Amino acid sequence: MHERKLTEQELVRRDKALKLRELGYDPFGSRYDRSDYANDVKEKYESVDHDAFDSMTDTVKVAGRIMFIRKMGKASFFSIKDKSGSIQVYISINDVGEDIYTLFKSADIGDIVGVYGKVMKTRTGEVTIKCLEYTPLVKALRPLPEKFHGLTDVEERYRRRYVDLMMNDESRRVAFLRPKIIRSIQSFLDNRDFVEVETPVLSTLLTGASARPFVTHHNSQDLDMYLRIALELPLKRLLVGGMEKVYEIGRVFRNEGMDPKHNPEFTLMEVYEAYSDLEGMMDLTEKMFVKIAENVIGKMDYHWNNQDINLKGPWKRISMVDAIKEKTGIDFKKEMSVDEALELAKEHNIEVQEHEKTVGHIINLFFEKYVEETLIQPTFLYGHPVEISPLTKKNKDDPRFVDRFELFIAGREMANAYTELNDPDDQLDRFEEQLKEKNLGNAEANDIDMDFIEALEYGMPPAGGVGYGIDRLIMFFTEQDSIRDVILFPTMKPTCK
């Protein structure tokens, strides 16, 4: 057994747990049928006048963790916190009797208890439960961190999220908002006749995005497999099969660095709509963000990434080459050779890797250097070079570019959308180009998925598709700067203990 030296406080708490057993109480509790939550009680009685409580017979039954105790002689105050919030409790020897009051006096902050009683208001007007029955449920064997010093070490907050949630109301707010935002997205899409589906997490091919994978091993098949880096190709197969409007919200895994914007496992949503296109995906995206803002958060103005953002439409739409021209005066719409593009990159101190020595890659490098961080208000940036978009349909008027957009808010990419490529021969050519890039050292290039090519040969309807990083979307709506604040259990380095 793992031995650990107990602190004096921990020894005292364990001794109290033994005494509870001797008194016939299980220090680790059993079922407790509560009928009320703290915040509901406070809201219901907040407007009731102080004197009106004397004639009321209403009773409530709550349960939660003790977060504050003020022990006095024959009467005390404490507060308990449940999933909804905190409420004050008044306990008196006259109401519960000497034995139970003595039992209460052995309670510690962090213990979980049940309280049955009448509602009252203190002289200061605070809604309070007057305890008539006190039930110890769980003895906390470790003390909570002190309220004000608390979990000041940010790493520890993420590592011990359970303590963070007890102590930090902002963490609880985000934790409860996240599923509400996801339900709102599902409701938005379901009401538009989209179908939510599930596709495999394990794959033998690396496809659907540019990213380095996690590799795992299937023992019985003696087969190396990848954890998926995207959702795209299985969902497009469903369009071929006739499902027409599909989406998936699922975990994907990219074997890359960790920073405030990236976690190795994260939640992605991809949406595909047959007979739609890039414009359709822009309209869908803008309406979805506005719906979340109105229905879940209740406001259109946000402060995020040190920027004030307003979601009121219509959102700006601009091509990548026009945005670069605005900032640098360089017009990449003009035909130019790779050598000319390389010379421009050199003049602007832009480093070009071996696999990036194409005009399209250099255009993208200019965008990343001069434009990306300047896109503050919601902006649909479209018209990406074909070289950086292996799964997107070429633009009819200029095949050097594709029908793709990225949504930027506060200088960060929030969505990536395509008019989907459904020409199997063009798709195979793009896959082969990716293979060449892989051989030149691009660790993020795609494999060739011949089964997907076969699916396209049966005919995939023209379609629009869009992908959203759900964690980043939730960062925006909850106004959090770090992805770790919106993932309950972010990836952490192991600690040596």
Which DSSP string corresponds to 346-410? HHTT----GGG-SHHHHHHHHHHHHTGGG--S-EEEEEEEGGG-TTBPBPSS-TTEEEEEEEEET
> Which strand (E) or helix (H) includes residue 117?
strand 112-121
> Nearest 5 degrees, angle CA 252-CA 356-CA 259?
40
Q: What percent of the chain has pLDDT over 70?
A: 98
| Residue 150: per-residue pLDDT | 45
Q: How confident is the model over 261-300, as pLDDT tens digits?
A: 899 999 999 999 999 999 999 999 999 999 999 999 999 9
Instruction: Indicate the SS3 state at residue 158.
Output: helix
Which distant-in-sequence residues (6+ apart) come within 8 Å of 198 by Cβ? Answer: 248, 250
The neighbouring-strand residues paired with 430 are none
Q: How confident is the model over 320-342, as pLDDT tens digits?
A: 999 999 999 999 999 999 999 99
What domains can be seen in the chain, in order of their start residue?
Answer: 8-144 (2.40.50.140), 166-315+377-485 (3.30.930.10)
Q: Is the peptide bond preceding residue 494 cis, with omega within 30 degrees of 0? A: no
Instruction: Indicate the SS3 state at residue 343.
Output: helix
The pair phi, psi for residue 145, each rounded to 5°, is -60, 150
| Residue 149: per-residue pLDDT | 46
Q: How confident is the model over 357-369, as pLDDT tens digits?
A: 999 999 999 999 9
Q: Which residue has the higher pLDDT, 26 or 443?
A: 26
pLDDT at 390 over 80: no
> Nearest 5 degrees, angle CA 347-CA 364-CA 332?
65
The neighbouring-strand residues paired with 454 are none
Instruction: Indicate the SS3 state at residue 136.
Output: strand
Instruction: Indicate the SS3 state at residue 287.
Output: helix
Instruction: Indicate the SS3 state at residue 227.
Output: strand
Which distant-in-sequence residues (6+ apart) come within 8 Å of 354 by Cβ? Answer: 440, 441
Select from 280, 290, 295 the least CA-distant residue to 314.
290
Q: What percent of the chain has pLDDT over 90?
A: 84
Q: Cβ of 378: how many Cβ atoms within 10 Å?
A: 23
Q: How confident is the model over 139-184, as pLDDT tens digits?
A: 999 999 875 444 567 788 898 999 999 999 999 999 999 999 999 9
What 8-state DSSP symbol labels residue 249?
E
Confidence of residue 497 (pLDDT cuts 50, 70, 90): low
Q: How far apart are CA 470 and CA 267, in angstroms?
A: 5
Q: State the average pLDDT over residues 130-134.
A: 98
> Which strand (E) or helix (H) includes residue 439?
helix 424-439
Which distant-in-sequence residues (6+ apart) come within 8 Å of 400 by Cβ? Answer: 359, 360, 385, 386
| Residue 276: per-residue pLDDT | 97
Q: What's this model's pTM, rounded to 2 decimal places?
A: 0.91
Q: How far apart are CA 11 and CA 26, in angstroms?
A: 18
**Pair 186, 196: CB distance under 8 Å:** yes
| Residue 148: per-residue pLDDT | 41
Q: How far apart are CA 341 and CA 194, in angstroms?
A: 43
Confidence of residue 389 (pLDDT cuts 50, 70, 90): confident
For the chain, how many helices (H) and strands (E)?
Answer: 15, 18
